[in-house]
Structure 1
Amino acid sequence: MEPELPHTLVDYLEKSRVALAIASAVGDLPLLMVNDSFSTLTGYAPQDVVGQNCRLLQREAPNIEPRARLREFLTNDRQPNVRTPIVNFRKDGTPFVNLLYMSRLRSGDGRTNLFFASQFDVSRSQPEMLAGYEGELSATLGRLAPIASEAGIVVEGTLLTIANSASLVAQAKMILAELEATTDA
């Protein structure tokens, strides 16, 4: 049975300028909601992706290291969050490097019922755009915690997992260059 999302949480996430998604921790981790910023970033409307696993954004990209990080996060209940660049594709097929942030949303009894995810295109971003995203995500998480708490949900993880944004942008640019080189060949 899929958990019902509290209306206050949904209302807050829908208003965020950060691309956000909530997935169930049950089964194949189907998306329960995506906001307008997610749709703007990916080209997918909610009806295109809700009920499906977010891996549909990866299509056939190998994403070996990011997938390993995500598997570790999903299987290690003690790991509160994960941050990794991963190749995704917009609905129109255009590739981009997504700086994916995921954290657990736990019920009052400590069980992970939901996953919170944020997406940001670092393919061609400027450092100031990434800094703006980091600020927006930090503010989103700061405001999300008390709203979620009122609904009996505990937001796990913090942005202390981000070591060096500049290196993530550089890594993303290298990933995109490799992807473009293989598609041009």
Structure 2
Amino acid sequence: MHDDTVPEQLRTFFENSQVALALAAPDGDNPLLLVNSRFSELTGYEQSELAGRNCRILQGEADDQEARTILRAFLDDDTAANVRKPILNFKKDGTPFVNLLYMSRLRGLDGQTRYIFASQFDVSRAQPERLEAYDQELGQTLTRLSPAAAESGIIVEGTLTTIANSARTVAQARLTLADLDNGSFL
């Protein structure tokens, strides 16, 4: 799925990324403009099923209010550069997973937010070394995204410091899974 307003360099970047990525509009209900095949593999949703829909489709009926509040605050505050938060999500087949969601803003040269960039990673059953490898890949992805975006006059906002908390993130994911197993989210 893609939107013709997304620059070709960003589309190519997404297609070649080894991590699950999504790109959403910065306004309205933040409809998805672009997802890559890794995103589809992770969630089970075909690209065409998500075109123009908000990513909260993955939240299902779960009542993960803390995560939802933090993510909504990021989306509502245009000065917030990025956020990283585990959130309970569901694959298309209903399988729950804890999504380590990273979101940042891609701004035009005029300073206006053009897109919301997001990366997803299933930390539900992740081994610490898998999360570490993902963190490294996400860091490399963000490093490679900057010049690709710059070709289209887009500035990647945010820093890599939000991805430098793997141990705490795994602990949060385990607590979320324990709550899920106890029925706390349903």
The reply to whether TM is greater than 0.5 is yes
Please say if 1:123 is aligned against 2:121: no
Q: CA deviation at 1:3?
A: 7.5
Structure 2: 5+ residue stretches without partners: none
Residue identity opposite 1:102 in structure 2: M
Instruction: Tell me which residue corresponds to 1:175.
Output: 176
Instruction: Tell me which residue corresponds to 2:143.
Output: 142
Question: Percent same amino acid at aligned positions?
Answer: 58
**Partner deviation per Cα, 1:42-99 (whole Å, 9 max, x = no partner):** 0011111111000000011111111111111111111100000000000000000000
Range 163-172 or range 20-29, more displaced: 163-172
Please say if 1:97 is aligned against 2:98: yes
Q: CA deviation at 1:158?
A: 1.5
- Give the match's secondary structure for 2:61: coil
Say if 1:98 and 1:121, in contact at 8 Å, map to a contact too. Answer: yes
- Give the match's secondary structure for 2:124: coil
Say if 1:26 and 1:113, in contact at 8 Å, map to a contact too. Answer: no
Say if 2:135 and 2:163, in contact at 8 Å, map to a contact too. Answer: no
Instruction: Tell me which residue corresponds to 2:83.
Output: 82
Q: CA deviation at 1:162?
A: 3.3
Give the Cα–Cα distance (whole angstroms) in 2 for the partners of residues 119 and 108 of structure 1: 26
Structure 1: 5+ residue stretches without partners: none
TM value normalised by structure 2: 0.94
Q: CA deviation at 1:140?
A: 0.5
**Residue correspondences, number:** 183
Residue identity opposite 2:94 in structure 1: G
**Partner deviation per Cα, 1:100-140 (whole Å, 9 max, x = no partner):** 00000111100112100000000010110001000100000
TM value normalised by structure 1: 0.95
